[in-house]
A and B are shown apart, each in its own frame.
Chain A
């Protein structure tokens, strides 16, 4: 299995909702990442997990809350989002955060906040 799987593919949520994005990989990678991508722009890093521990938070607002339950799973919990948070949210994984081999992205969750 050489894939990063993200669910759901599309999500529409209101500003008072709570939802979660899920990411799964079975490549034995020990680093997992969340990126945010706006239209016509490159992806921007949000969080890095290394060996299930949060290593980097790129000053992301607290309405985004990451969680890494085990080495294969990564979640992004969403609460009280704003319309400007609408974007493509990408999960990625790599061998580990020092050896970047196999840096693979999922297909993303297209999030719309209404």
Chain B
């Protein structure tokens, strides 16, 4: 969803459950996508990336899925932990864009015990 004013979309997840964070991207020419985690007062932390010639990539407890047909990106977090509470941003860029990242609005993930 889109943020309105100062309110980020929020995903509330119970500890131990799986989380799915969605992102719609805008530029069909984008060929590289990154998910970042940002905790309060810190800079964005790289989680996982994927190039447009792939549709799935797995990391430690995280999986990114890319659907170019509908310009949709998702981040799945397995066995969500309290330390996963943060704002998650997707970002897109393309090879000839001088490295400019276009960020999504962000999703606040709150992990409850």
Task: Enumerate chain A interface residues (CB-CB to B < 8 A).
Answer: 4, 6, 31, 33, 39-45, 48, 50, 55-56, 58, 88, 90, 94, 96-98, 100-108, 110
- Is the CB of B105 closer than 8 A to any CB of chain A? yes
Using CB atoms, name the residue of chain A closest to B8.
Answer: A40
Given A40-B8, A48-B98, A97-B99, 17 other A-B contacts at CB below 8 A? A6-B43, A33-B99, A40-B3, A40-B6, A40-B7, A42-B103, A42-B104, A43-B89, A44-B103, A45-B100, A48-B99, A48-B100, A56-B100, A88-B43, A98-B95, A103-B101, A105-B45
CB pair B36–A105 under 8 Å, yes or no, is yes
Q: Is there contact, CB below 8 Å, between B6 and A43?
A: no
Please, which residue of chain B has its CB at the minimum distance from the CB of A45? B100
Which of A42, A97, A105, A106 has most chain B Cβ within 10 Å? A42
Total chain B interface residues with beta-carbon distance under 8 A = 26
- A107 touching B42, Cβ below 8 Å: yes
A94 to B3: give the CA distance in the assembly, Å.
Answer: 28
User: How far apart are A64's CB and chain B's nearest CB, in angstroms?
Assistant: 17
Contacts of B106 in A (CB 8 A): 40-42
Question: Which 4 residue pairs spanning A and B have beta carbons closest together?
Answer: A42-B103, A97-B99, A105-B43, A107-B43
Q: Once the chains bind, are B99 and A94 in contact (CB under 8 Å)?
A: yes
